[in-house]
Amino acid sequence: MNTAKAIDKILDNVSKKITPTKSEEKQLISIIRLVERSVERSISGLSYTLAGSFTRDTWMKDKKEFDIFIMFPENVTNQELERKGLELGKKIVKDIKGTYKVAYAEHPYTRAKFRGYDVDIVPCYNLSDTSKIKSSVDRTPFHNRYLTKRFTPSLSKQTRLLKQFLKANNLYGSNTKTQGFSGYLCELLIYNYKTFNSLIIQASDWEPGVYIDIEKHHKNRPHYPNPLIVIDPVDPKRNVSAVVSSDNFMKFVSVCKQFKNKPKESLFFKKPVKPKPLKSVLESRKTQFLAIEFKKPDILDDILYPQLRRTAKRLVKLLKDYEFQVMGYDIYANNKCTIMLEMEVWSLPHVRKLHGPPISVKNHSKEFIFKYKKTRLWVEDDSWKAEIKRKYPIAESLLKKTLSQSPASLKEAGIASYVAKSMKNFKILKNSQLASRAKSKDFYEFLINYLENRVVV
C-alpha cells in the first residue's frame, strides 16, 4: 500500500530521527555566535558571511561543521587575499582558543577546531556579479543570498530527507572520493521539485542527460559531458552536478526506483555490516584478482583519488595492450592504497600469433616475410601469419615488471605522479590474500560494493 499517507508516515519517522534536536541547535548557535563575535573583532573593515547548510537549516546532526567566509574587496590581489586570509584565520583561532590546520582547496584556508566543531574560515572576494568570479569559493556568498531568500522550513525538512537518503547509499558528498551530490546540489534539487517524494518519483525515470535550469538562463541547452546537468542559478556557466559520476547517477536512479516501488524507512539508514571472509565468493568467480597495494602518498584526498583512478585506467590499458582481459577494477585508500584489478584472462600461451597482409599485396608481404622469416611463418586464408614468443604470458609478471621501475619511468609510462613516487615496495595480492583484507569492515564494504549488483530495474 503506497498511499501518500503511508509515505508521509515513513518520511515523518525519518525526519524525527535525523532533525537536530532543539538542544543540538542551541549548542551550535551558541558556538557560531562565539566565533562570529571573534570574527567581528578581528577583521577590521572587511565583511563576512556564514555560509553552507547552517544558513538554510539543512545541516545534519552528525556533521559538526560550519563555514565562515571572509569577503575581500575586488581590488585586493590574489596573493594578498591568501596571505591576509590565513593571517585572519590564525588570529580568530587564537582569540577563541581553538586549534587549526591549513587546508587547501583552490586557495589555502584555515580549518579550525573549536569545542568539537570544524570551522572553516575561508577568504573569498566580495563581488558585484558572478561573471567576475576568480575561484569557486567566490560563488558561495551568491549561493547564500539566492537560497536564504527562497528557503522555507518545509524545504529544509525535505532537503534533510534527501541528504540522509543519499548518505545511506554512499552518494552524499562532492569530494573526489565520493563523486556524489553536494549539499548545495541537494538544496537546488529540492527547491526545484519542492518535496523529497516528487524528486524521487521524477528521478526514478531519469536517463543520462537530465537538464535542470531553474532560472532558465539558457535558451539553448549548453553541452556538458555529464549525466546530470544542473545549471547554477547564480552562475549560468557552471554545472553544479559536474562531479556526479555516471556510476553514481545510475545508482541514484536505481535507489529512487527502489523507494518508489517499495517505500521503506530502511532505505534511509545503512545496514550494519558484519565483515565475513570473502574467500569462497572470490574463488567461485574463477577470475583472478590482482590487487596492487602500496604506501599511501601524503597528499590531500581530493588529489589522491583522481590519481588512483587515473593509474588504474592506465594499468587496464597496459594489460589490454598485452592481450590480457580485465573484467573490472576499483580503487581503495585507507592506511594504504589498493588498485584492484579483476582479470578475465590473466594467463596466455607462450606463443603469439601475428596477422600479416594478404599475400596479394606484394610490398607489404615482402616486409612481413623479411621481419618474421626466422619464426614460424605460414599462409592462412590468403594472408600471412607468423608466430613469435610472447613477452609476458602472465599478467602478474607484466604488472610486477612495469611497477618496479623508477618513479620517473613510471611517470613516463603514464602512472600519476604521487602514485609513481609511492609505488616502491608495492605488493600484489591475489584472491585469498585480498579476501583476507576483508576482515576490516571498511575493506569488506569496498569489496561488497564492487561485487554487488548496483542497478535495480
Stretch of 81-89, 176-184, 221-229, 355-363 contacting ligand CTP, by CB under 6 A: 176-184
Q: For residue 452, what are the CA distances in angstroms to 96, 176, 221?
A: 48, 22, 36
Nearby residues of 217 by Cβ (< 8 Å), 6 or more positions away: 231, 233, 236
Residue 53 CB, nearest approach to Mg ion (Å): 5
Residue 187 and residue 230 in contact, taking contact as beta carbons nearer than 8 Å: no
Residue 348 CB, nearest approach to ligand CTP (Å): 44
User: 95 contacts which partner out of Mg ion, ligand CTP, none, CB within 5 to 8 A by kind?
Assistant: none
Over the range 90-103, which residues count as b (16 or more CB within 10 Å of their CB) and which as e?
bbbbeebebebeee
Measured CA to CA, the distance from residue 98 to residue 119 in angstroms comes to 10
* Amino acid, single-letter form, for residue 31: I
Cell numbers for 19? 532533525
* Residues of this chain, 37-56, that bind Mg ion according to CB under 5 A: 52-53
Cell numbers for 25? 541547535
* Residues of this chain, 90-149, that bind ligand CTP according to CB under 6 A: 139-140, 143
Residue 51 CB, nearest approach to Mg ion (Å): 7
- Per rule CB under 6 A, is residue 59 in the interface with ligand CTP? yes
User: 140 contacts which partner out of Mg ion, ligand CTP, none, CB within 5 to 8 A by kind?
Assistant: ligand CTP
- Per rule CB under 6 A, is residue 53 in the interface with ligand CTP? yes
- Per rule CB under 6 A, is residue 393 in the interface with ligand CTP? no
Q: Return the residue of 10, 43, 51, 81 that touches ligand CTP, per CB under 6 A.
A: 51
Q: Which element (helix H / strand E) includes 429?
A: strand 427-429
- Per rule CB under 6 A, is residue 85 in the interface with ligand CTP? no
Neighbouring C-beta atoms of residue 373, cutoff 10 Å: 9
Residue 256 and residue 196 in contact, taking contact as beta carbons nearer than 8 Å: no
Measured CA to CA, the distance from residue 226 to residue 209 in angstroms comes to 7
* Amino acid, single-letter form, for residue 266: S
Pick between residue 51 and residue 96 the one whose CB is nearest to ligand CTP. Answer: 51
Q: Return the residue of 50, 61, 63, 83 that touches ligand CTP, per CB under 6 A.
A: 63
User: 393 contacts which partner out of Mg ion, ligand CTP, none, CB within 5 to 8 A by kind?
Assistant: none
Residue 304 CB, nearest approach to ligand CTP (Å): 18
How many CA atoms lie less than 13 Å away from 28 in the CB half-sphere?
A: 22
Of 340, 303, 329, the residue nearest 428 (C-alpha)? 340
DSSP conformation class of 169? T
Residue 333 CB, nearest approach to Mg ion (Å): 23
User: 182 contacts which partner out of Mg ion, ligand CTP, none, CB within 5 to 8 A by kind?
Assistant: ligand CTP
**Residues 155, 159, 160, 161: what is their CA dihedral angle, to the nearest 10 degrees?**
100
- Per rule CB under 5 A, is residue 167 in the interface with Mg ion? no
Residue 59 and residue 66 in contact, taking contact as beta carbons nearer than 8 Å: yes
Residue 94 CB, nearest approach to ligand CTP (Å): 23
Residue 391 CB, nearest approach to Mg ion (Å): 53
Question: Environment class of residue 316 by beta-carbon count within 10 Å: exposed (0-12), middle (13-18) or buried (19+)?
Answer: middle
Pick between residue 111 and residue 143 the one whose CB is nearest to ligand CTP. Answer: 143
Pick between residue 143 and residue 257 the one whose CB is nearest to ligand CTP. Answer: 143
What is the Cα gyration radius of the chain?
A: 27
User: 63 contacts which partner out of ligand CTP, Mg ion, none, CB within 5 to 8 A by kind?
Assistant: ligand CTP
Pick between residue 210 and residue 429 the one whose CB is nearest to ligand CTP. Answer: 210
Pick between residue 38 and residue 164 the one whose CB is nearest to ligand CTP. Answer: 164
- Judged by the rule CB under 5 A, the positions of this chain that interact with Mg ion are 52-53
- Judged by the rule CB under 6 A, the positions of this chain that interact with ligand CTP are 51-53, 59-60, 63, 65, 67, 139-140, 143, 174, 182-184
